[in-house]
Structure 1
Amino acid sequence: MGAVATIVFLHAHPDDEASGTSGTMTRLSREGHRVVVVYGTGGELGTAPEDLAEGTTLADFRRAEAEASAAVTGTERIVWLGYHDSGMHGWEQNSHDGSFHGADLDEAAGRLVEVLDEEDADVLVAYDWHGGYGHPDHVKVHRVAHRAADLAARRPRLLEGTMNRDAMRAGQEAERAAGREPDFDADQPMEDGEPIGTPESEISWRVDVSGDIDSKRAALSCHASQTSDVGMMLQMPPEIFAQWFGTEFYLEPGREPGMVDGWPFADLER
């Protein structure tokens, strides 16, 4: 292993880290690197569990879930930027006071810069330009991360988590061949009018996280209150879960075109 480095992951809501980057986070931690996760919102508009205790907010409950997930992935620090969940594309909450979507870009980036500078971060991991599927808070993650990288005292290397649209299409075809009808169409426009993820030709890194697939599933299980999405993922048979979640994909702005099968963090140096 090379020198110990600090990698900051910016996610929109608690549970996004589990489905998107928890395999990478687990491996980084296992290799001795410092992993920090920053959440733009508290996930206040997620699914409230039926047994939510009186006096406990959904944000409180989801903070505890995020802490449990961090214990699984080896994440050493959790930071909350303090914005409110903006809801899905077109919801009235998009424009509410305090929403992440409506936050001033420089103000939000400044909150993230405080973390990057405190940590002297080597790498910042965020989302692609449309947040994978157009969710307003995910799009905001992309914009805030790029602005914060520009403002940080030491500019971190920037990676953008994404989904491989071509691989998803192939997965759908495999499901149909096995007699199962996929739940969605990878080429169907999302609520923002764009299809999900990124074409493979534009992706920089394909990371095999199958060796940590059990940890990824365990991290997702920590967010079991979110039955509408996490619940669906956890219901997948192990072989299907591994097919959909055993690989994580990243864009790297400025990198030469062409997807590399490998570990983006192999040459981390201070």
Structure 2
Amino acid sequence: MATIVFLHAHPDDEASATSGSMARAAQRGDRVVVVFATNGDHGEVPKSLHPGETIVERRRSEAEAAAAVIGTQRIAWLGYKDSGMTGWEMNDAPGSFWSADLDEAANRLAKILDEEDADVLVGYDWHGNYGHPDHVKVHPVAYRAAQLARRRPRVLESTTNRDAMVRSFQAAKEAGLQIDFDPTGPADDGNPMGTPEAEIHWVVDVRDLTDVKRRALLCHASQASDVGMLTGMPDEVFAQSFGLEHFREHGRPNGMVAGWPFTPLHTP
């Protein structure tokens, strides 16, 4: 069995991006660890906060609830602040993930990789799927941490299949949903979301686990705008949108393969 570490920018990113693969791995008997780079303090602040409760505390409790749904065995935090969207003054604020020294952040992650003797590390594609500064920063931190770890893990990049997303949004519109979004248009950094299908190496079928993904997303209820939009999709549209998870792997030949990429590259 493998130990798989998933690095995500904010609590709730794991639910939408990789919770199906995480749940599948847990079912297989693999050890699943999620690491959050930031505390998500610039996320949506709900009116339901209890007296004295902070948004950081709420998002930590939501991450724990989602982990229980997914089957994640450990949650770890790199300890950085949310950097906000591109161009926000928080990008360069002291303690933000975006402004963090690369080796410092990578060493924090490498320590976790060593503690876990990780076989596989999952980060993001080069522009973090949609250009959010924290998502973009995940990419170099993951690769540098893998270099610094005692036993270099296999590195995968979670991404979004841009072509499939176009098909899903078309299906959503045909189902009567009003979605004011163009998946081929510029995202937070000016690039379109995700990766063209021709540049993706792995697709993992988690259509039988879309209920787990929906329940994991619902755990992050404080982020009502995004979570509400996603979980409000009809079941068939949600399954089409979130039933396949996509990954890139540096060095592999072109061609998307349906399979299970979370196996170790080496044996102890």
Please indicate the TM-score interval, normalised by the length of the shorter structure. over 0.9
Q: CA deviation at 1:171?
A: 2.1
Give the conservation status (yes or no) of the 8 Å contact 2:119–2:264. Answer: no
Matched-pair contact (CA < 8 Å) for 1:221–1:234: yes
- Tell me which residue corresponds to 1:188: 185
Task: Return the match for 1:71 from 41, 62, 68.
Answer: 68
Q: What does residue range 1-270 of structure 1 map to in structure 2 within 5 Å? A: 4-178=1-175, 180-265=177-262, 270=267
What secondary structure does 1:36 align onto? Answer: strand
Q: Percent identity?
A: 63
* CA distance in structure 2 between the aligned counterparts of 1:74 and 1:174, rounded to whole angstroms: 31
Query: TM-score, normalised to structure 1's length?
Result: 0.95
- Give the residue type in structure 1 aligned to 2:51: E
CA distance in 1, matches of 2:114, 2:95: 24
* Pairwise CA RMSD: 1.4
Note the C-alpha offset of 1:174.
3.1
The 1:130/1:108 distance shift into structure 2, 3 A limit, reads: same
Q: Is the 8 A contact 1:5 1:268 kept in 2?
A: no
Secondary structure at 1:229 match in 2: helix
Deviates more, 1:76-85 or 1:185-194: 185-194
- Structure 2 unmatched ranges of 5 or more: none
Give, as a single letter, the amino acid of the residue that structure 2 aligns with 1:14.
P
Please state how far the C-alpha of 1:181 moved relative to its aligned partner. 4.8
Counterpart residue identity of residue 161, structure 1: S
Whether the aligned pair in 2 keeps the contact of 1:127 and 1:138 (CA below 8 Å) is yes
Once the 2 structures are TM-superposed, how far is the Cα of residue 234 of structure 1 from its aligned partner? 1.1
TM-score by length of 2: 0.96
1:212-231 Cα deviation digits (max 9, x unpaired): 11111110010011011111
In structure 2, what is the Cα distance between the partners aligned to 1:93 and 1:15?
20
Distance 1:54 1:175, change over 3 A: closer
The SS at the match of 2:62 is helix
- Consecutive unaligned residues of structure 1, counting only runs of 5 or more, are none
Partner amino acid, structure 1, of 2:71: G
Q: Indicate if the aligned counterparts of 1:7 and 1:36 stay in contact, CA closer than 8 A.
A: yes
Q: In the TM superposition, what is the alpha-carbon distance from 1:173 to its structure 2 partner?
A: 3.1
